[in-house]
Structure 1
């Protein structure tokens, strides 16, 4: 997924685009016979040599047409991404193109208008009829690029996030500079030169934020989230970034300190601006409405199911999970309620200062289990580094995976971030937070984030078959895969005591109990995802209030209040965070189709490898490729 205005894939448009792709097969086939017919008229009939020449000319014409279209398409793709990285240089750094490291996004009104015009022009160019002659794989890639353009234009023309979300600007600065500090892709002095380049441009980005933000269109919750995030961003530049470059050349450090001091002052001033100018006047609605929601789901995920059907599927999965949750809890301890049973398991967690080490301990054991059970190929011996979530990310995440870009050749570190407790929290809030990291939850979260979830998929994306597949994708694939893996590993019998060094020596009856506890936790995490699914749709399209959304997480998902608050805040800014459950359900359905097709020859590692070798495109495209369907299906 791309992190900036150049985003992902499609489906009102995707549906139209897939229709165009299905038509392209017919049109490509009709192209060369028409050419051949002209040759027959010119050469006459009855001559077998002439007929052979006609056949040869027809084949050559078809190949030349494809070759010409392919060359035109490849060139246009290169131009498009060069334009994308010029507009979003932070994304260029993240994917491994370090010629953009000194640059920072220009989000001034003039730059945004120019970007909009550029996107419209690329939309026209990628609609060239010549591309109907592309091979199937490139036609599918083309649909991803076109949807990516549509998603970017949707944000610029209808969602107006840069006018409504004051957090976008400081968080972009933090993310762009931190990306230069966290990986050693170049010498420390070289990276510090790039940091200085970005920091010197950062005040202009904050000024663009002041100019672009329209306070009366800002939802109050967006202003509140910005004020929650800003102290962490300021702290990043006060401590984390200077510490990362402590060994740099003294002359460079002096230049950095001067620019950094100015940026910190600008961030503090921006914080005051949000607090005094935006927050008191923030009267905007966070809900984007059904029309925009359907478009976003279409362009981002190529999802074209009716929204009522999607919502009904979510409620069906919610009820299934709730029933299983209650059944498991009764089997574990019939003397208490399901929620009390879960809470007793959630209380079994590491001490806060052991969170990172406890998480790291389970990773190698999970990877070994995957190899033993032949679940999926792990295409690298490189392992994940577990670390605390950076301060500027903590307001909206418990755990996350940060992988190097697909074109990063030097710094291959991947970071599995877990969010620690804060020093000013009281005991109650610390306990509520740590209950998310019970030993069973650490296992399940590690499956999701690392093995065989996000990290393994990232390793495959590095070998994806095209530039488009390496750079573009969708969340229902990436998050759907990781969430699917949680259920998969339960089904495969992942040892529930794998956090303990002697987990293989557990007695069968103890292991059975631990397995039930692990599944209960996995089901609880699945309930969180399906609550996101429902709350996201209903808050943005059905009038569900923020408070009622929070209560839905607590009542239907059995969540702690603090965590429910965090999840609801996220939903106001991330309308389509249904992608976890949406993707999981579609992958399960695809697996069933593939099993039916293969019969006795079905092999789960083969299926998972086939899935991952596609990259992470919309699941419609994965289905087409895994089942070897015509491109319109």
Structure 2
């Protein structure tokens, strides 16, 4: 049967255009002997970890409303991972195709991520924000929806007090930075608010949003008031407990240097150490800062671009940018955009702030193209459309941050060089500004995780290295890179450098036969695996994946 399936696949793909052939081959089922056992293991593992955690390879690791977090449950989860590791190691992976081996290593990274989460990160013990993260979404809820929606909201509201009560019992090893960030977020708007419902004056943090929900309930759903009040009072009591116990919350926030390097290699599957990434990022920062100086000289006689003054003006800029980008992608044979991919929106809503636009808005409200390439098309939102169409059992559920951010960041400068901004030369300056900020994140991420810098030091470093960078954007970024599974702050610049290297590898390998559109289509068709795994699948080069087959024990704390 497997032989027949292979023969049918060959017959069906004969004569197809190169990019369609690549997509068809990448979506075809893997037929290696024993592969079905890997699929079953992957499904069993994900189910086993519920309730509790998403994989360490994704950014979100917050609590879930209604779930229970306790030491005995987590200890049982940790102990049970050994059986999955034994099942994985028993598979005959060395005889598999490159696609099958890439899937195997992807599942291995998920398993390693779960172990690291349960053994090292332990956010249910160390991070008050773990319990606070899901509470904002509850407070954002509309109170004018159907009775069924209100019933769901009521259930979620009633889960808030027990969740926070359990948190107070669980949080016995709190990091000082985590406590300070939690207190700040309870009482202050984060100053970015991009995914919050719009308010002329943003509510003051999580407590402020529960006040906002309470006011709306009193006006439109008085029957919800008692439940909102109970949830709000639980949040306030949690804030008061944090304040009272802050002095004892002195654990380090980062994982330490040795554990960070272990995580980068065996979960993120990036073939670099922390020291190597800092060196690369500092060089990128120097290169892009020099490029910005040269571009400003080149453009010195051109008028400065001005900020949009209304939502309508910004919407018009986005619409014209989207049309120009799609035309460029098609006319210049950059990447295949299926004909049914419609409007993908925008990543930065138009917001009028009393203090003026933040870092992202300073750029986006002048020229949307840098962020459109990165976050809309052919970046994140287009990438997500393709991911939703992926039917493969392992790759359809896998999304590596280094792959997602590496692809999106690569697109900025790569498509600038390819000609996407030839009619808007001042946009080139903004693309370099984006790259400068992303490069500054790498030392900030690594030094926080190594416990060399506190959040305030990381914020100060990024602001000193990045023109226009404001306190709020820098603090929100620093919080993400310290509190989430390690390595997200490095994903942009390091992932971009991995993309550059893969482009060079493939172009050298194919010579005159290299085609940029085929390269991009083949890369996207591989799914959102770590870039090192995609490189192995595309080129056959084994030097990077050789680092991932054997997983040593997690090192002791520094």
Q: Please give the range of the TM-score, normalised by the shorter of the 2 chains.
A: 0.7 to 0.9
Q: Deviations over 1:464-488 (max 9, x none)?
A: 3522212223111100111011112
SS in 1 for 2:341: coil
Q: Which residue of 1 aligns with 2:254?
A: 287
Q: How does 1:191-210 map to 2 (within 5 A)?
A: 191-210=149-168
Aligned position for 1:599:
511
Q: Does structure 1 residue 223 correspond to structure 2 residue 182?
A: yes
CA contact 1:164–1:218 (8 Å) conserved in 2: no
Find the aligned partners of 1:613 and 1:299 in 2 and give their Cα distance: 24
Indicate the SS of the match to 2:255.
coil
With over 3 angstroms needed to count, the CA separation of the structure-2 counterparts of 1:108 and 1:367, relative to structure 1, is farther
Give the counterpart of 1:143 among 76, 101, 105. Answer: 105
Q: Is the 8 A contact 1:448 1:486 kept in 2?
A: yes
How many residues were matched structurally? Answer: 488
Structure 1 range deviating more: 356-365 or 525-534: 356-365
Unaligned runs of 5+ in 2: 1-30, 191-202, 547-558
Return closer, same or farther for 1:555/1:530 CA change in 2, 3 Å cut-off.
same
* Whole-angstrom distance in 1 between the partners of 2:296 and 2:371: 20
Q: CA 1:145–1:440 in 2, change beyond 3 Å: closer, same or farther?
A: same
1:77 aligns with 2:42: yes
Q: Offset of 1:193 from its aligned partner? A: 4.3
User: 2:445–2:481: 8 Å Cα contact kept in structure 1?
Assistant: yes
RMSD: 3.8
1:358-378 deviations in whole A, cap 9, x for unaligned? Answer: 564333443333223222122
Deviation of 1:81 after TM superposition, in Å, equals 2.4
State how 1:568-607 maps to structure 2 within 5 Å.
568-574=478-484, 575-576=486-487, 577-607=489-519
Q: Displacement, 1:145?
A: 1.7
Contact in 1 for aligned 2:317/2:367 (Cα 8 Å): no
Q: 2:356 matched to 1:446?
A: no
> Which residue in 1 is equivalent to 2:464?
555
> Which is higher, the Rg of structure 1 or of structure 2?
1
1:314-393 paired onto structure 2 within 5 Å: 314-333=281-300, 345=304, 348-351=306-309, 357=315, 360-361=318-319, 362-379=321-338, 380-386=340-346
CA contact (8 A) 1:163 1:218 kept: no
Pairwise CA distance, 1:532: 0.3
Q: Label 1:488 to 1:320 Cα distance change in 2 as closer, same or farther (>3 A).
A: same
Instruction: Specify every segment of 5 or more residues in structure 1 that has no aligned partner in the other structure, as ranges.
Output: 1-64, 96-101, 335-340, 387-415, 497-510
Distance 1:163 1:448 in 2: 36
Encode CA deviations 1:416-444: one digit per residue, 9 max, x unaligned: 3548355xx4xxx3255575345445321
Q: 1:466 to 1:242 in 2, by over 3 A?
A: farther
After superposition, give the CA deviation of every residue in 1:159-180 in whole Å (9 maximum; x if it has no partner): 33332221121212434787x9
Which stretch has the larger CA shift, 228-237 or 533-542?
Answer: 228-237
Aligned mates of 2:482, 2:542 — CA distance in 1: 38
CA contact 1:480–1:581 (8 Å) conserved in 2: yes
Q: Which has the higher helix share?
A: 1
Where does residue 550 of structure 2 map in the other structure?
none
**How far apart are residue 74 of structure 1 and its match?**
2.6
When residues 355 and 168 of structure 1 are mapped into structure 2, their CA distance, relative to the original with a 3 A threshold, is: farther
Alignment partner, residue 534 of structure 1: 443
TM-score (norm 2): 0.76
Would the aligned equivalents of 1:464 and 1:614 in 2 still touch at CA under 8 Å?
no
Contact residue 350 and residue 358 of structure 1 kept, 8 A:
no
1:297-308, aligned counterparts within 5 Å?
297-308=264-275
2:123 corresponding residue in structure 1: 161
| Counterpart residue number, 2:232 | 264
Q: CA shift at 1:88, angstroms?
A: 5.0
2:171 alignment counterpart: 213
1:408 is aligned to none
Contact 2:81-2:111 within 8 A present in 1 as well? yes
